[in-house]
Structure 1
Amino acid sequence: MELKKKEEQVLLLTALVGCGKTTLVKMLCWDDEIKDESFSSSWCNIQVPKVEALVLNFQSRNYTLPEFLEKMVELKVIIITNYDIFPAELSNFQLLKSLPNLKRIRLEKVSIPSLCNAPVPLRSVKKISLFMCNISQAFGNSTIQVSDSLPSLMEINIDYCNDLVELPTWLCEVLSLEKLSITNCHKLSALPEGIGNLVNLEVLRFRSCTELSELLESIRSLHMLRILDISDCLSIIELPKHIGELHNLEEIHMKKCLKLRKQLPPSTVDLKQLKLVVCDEERAKLWEPIKESFSGLKVMVAKEDINLNWLQK
């Protein structure tokens, strides 16, 4: 194994079974007491204050963030990935509040602890990505003071989080949010009425949320919205009545919305900035009667995409 040079600002720490991680840590820390099975909780006091990106890979049912994390004051990006079959219980999450420059968090296949019992202020974080995580405990019945905890958050990506049934109401208080992407969350069935409060939102994506049955009328207040993606939302039966109030909307993606067969709302013709509609052949027919009302509108029929990648997840 090759150690990174001192001037480099990325620290990669892996914890996969049999990869030599214990040997490496002993070399770094001169700690003969470190055991493989206690790797995640036996980190020595590594001093890496200038590191800006940290990748933690492991394979376990439980994982404790190392204590030295709170001293990484220049850290901007943290990526935590669990390679086990089941999501890992993540502890020591509160250490992240000690990182004044943290901008991006990406978590894969972990169970996020409850945010309502122990709020973790993440005042500098701009982007959070959650992939195949258990998040219902973190989101459920939380009373987060968003103005204190997430004042800088601009982007949330949630993908394949199968225990997400409804969005938490506090999410509607993240007024700095510009992009909300929720994809492949097949149990998501309800949106909070307050979603219209996200007045700075530019991208709203609910792709492949197969149980989601409607877009609330309150989205009419999202006047900054440029892209709306409801592709593969099999249960949505109609577009919001006042969708025409989204005066900056440029793109609508609505392929394979199999239950969306009703005539488009009359207000649709008020979408004067609309340039692109991506849909399937059946949904394309809904646009034919009003297409002449738009200047330069392109209705693009998406090719059939047979994607079996989800079988590997």
Structure 2
Amino acid sequence: MSFPVVRNRRLRGTAAIRNLVRENSLSVHDLVQPIFVTFGHNIKHEIESMPGVYHFSLDRLEEEIKEITGLGLQAILLFGVPEHKDAEGTSAFAEDGIVQQATRLIKQWNPNLLVIADTCLCQFTDTGHCGVIHHHPVTGQADVANDASLELLVQTAISQAKAGADIIAPSNMMDGYVHAIRSGLDEAGYEQVPVMAYSVKYSSAYYGPFRDAVHSSPQFGDRKTYQMDPANAREAMREAENDVLEGADFLMVKPALAYMDIIRMLKENFDLPVVAYNVSAEYSMVKAAAIQGWVNEQAIVMETMLGFKRAGADIILTYFAKDIAGWLRAE
């Protein structure tokens, strides 16, 4: 049957009917708020390319944690900006590293807030790369040494779990990183700590403001030998399948906005929770347009979030999390 017997507008006639038949919804429990912590004192410094997002020193961090939990958010993604960088990124796995210190404090203030620790070396190496560098013995060409980097990433994950991190989120895109970290955590007695794998992480232009925030732009070359080519989709399936087989507990797609087809592919092919990372430039573009009065910020953000949910995301990492939580509460 078709028109006039079928009239699709019947189910759109009132707000109550629209609410009744709505296929996807957004909850504060779907959201994770990223936070940037740094050394120093009395620092709450707005990141120029990310309006409304700040660096926090440890003595100013509690006010941010109280605001986040007061809005009903239950999870944060923790990034650290270290005082010291070196070739091996040793600050990433130091007992007194910035992420480790912040995690211990947050767990004192609010044991129930989920701390997801980003597990990578790029913020901590003096090269800005996600692992240690080796040089080809013949050509002298520099590249990231995969297996040597895994050893340091395992140390980082264990130190984060020891500090109290609830979830380890490795973002490095080294081959075998989930297996290495899962094995390392298990051997260290942290078999109950889940791994949120950055399974499909593209070499993307959407990371620019984030690299400003953590001062992690590569000092030479780029990350295309370990992050994925934006042109590829089937490769995303291979990456995700590897992570599932190696023991991942979550599968992430990063960035999210230009890769909703990949979110849908993972949702349809794997039975693990799918995470969409609404990354820094996706945030900054909307903020910049809203400041100029060109877009309705709330409307466009909420539409985008529903797009992620419709594509299949179970969890959304977004710098808009606090804003969204406030809007949901007002409704």
TM-score normalised over the length of structure 2: 0.28
Larger radius of gyration: 1
Higher RCO (CA-CA < 8 Å; seq separation 6+): 2
TM-score normalised over the length of structure 1: 0.30
Higher helix share: 2
